[in-house]
A and B are shown apart, each in its own frame.
Chain A
């Protein structure tokens, strides 16, 4: 399967600081990446869809000025949590959608990074 990395895997920060999370597709070029957050024992919640070279599309209720997304290249998308607060503590997961033409699996499959556990004190 496709490989997606995410860094850092864990981060602890003070309230009011900003945290950047990187998501990289290692073996394919991803024109579309997705950012999710997940609370304990809850399902994935899509935060935004990130398209290379254009502005991200945010889901309803997600503050785009708080969660800055940059998809500067076909292999890298970043999520910056600005002025983090304790309620932003969560498990953040990115995924990348493999472009058409690949043989393995359906085109629309999302491959997930390992996730970043954020704790804001």
Chain B
């Protein structure tokens, strides 16, 4: 079967760095997405990785290792507004998005 695993919840301190991991097992791979979803709102696109390595975009970076079926989202200089759920999604060989359950990130002052 297809499976996306990510931690249910994480807590971090304002100004710190946090890494949210995602492991996947899917039938084929056509890229991995990270989305941010604030409570009661729809997801917003953060990043896309299809090749191995690190993609940096401001305070957010996303890493992919296809051989390990592993990705992480790195958030630096955390702000209170970063409190949200972070969804990992993998596009399989049929170009279907397989969604993880999301990681709820709690930022404390």
Contacts and interface: CB of A to CB of B under 8 A. Distances in A.
A113 B45 CA distance: 12
Interface residue SS majority, chain B? loop
Contacts of A44: 43, 87, 99
Contact of B100 (A43, A105, A112): A43
Contacts of B104: 41
Nearest to B98: A46
Contacts of B44: 1, 112
B87 A110 contact: no
A49 B40 CA distance: 23
A105 B49 CA distance: 11
B101 A114 contact: no
Given A106-B48, A109-B48, A93 B101 contact: no
A111 B43 CA distance: 8
Q: Which of A6, A105, A106, A115 has the most C-beta atoms of chain B within 10 angstroms of its own C-beta?
A: A106
A103 interface: no
Given A42-B101, A44-B99, 8 more contacts: A43-B87, A43-B99, A95-B42, A108-B48, A109-B48, A112-B44, A113-B42, A115-B42
Interface of A: 1, 6, 41-44, 46, 91, 93, 95, 105-106, 108-115, 117
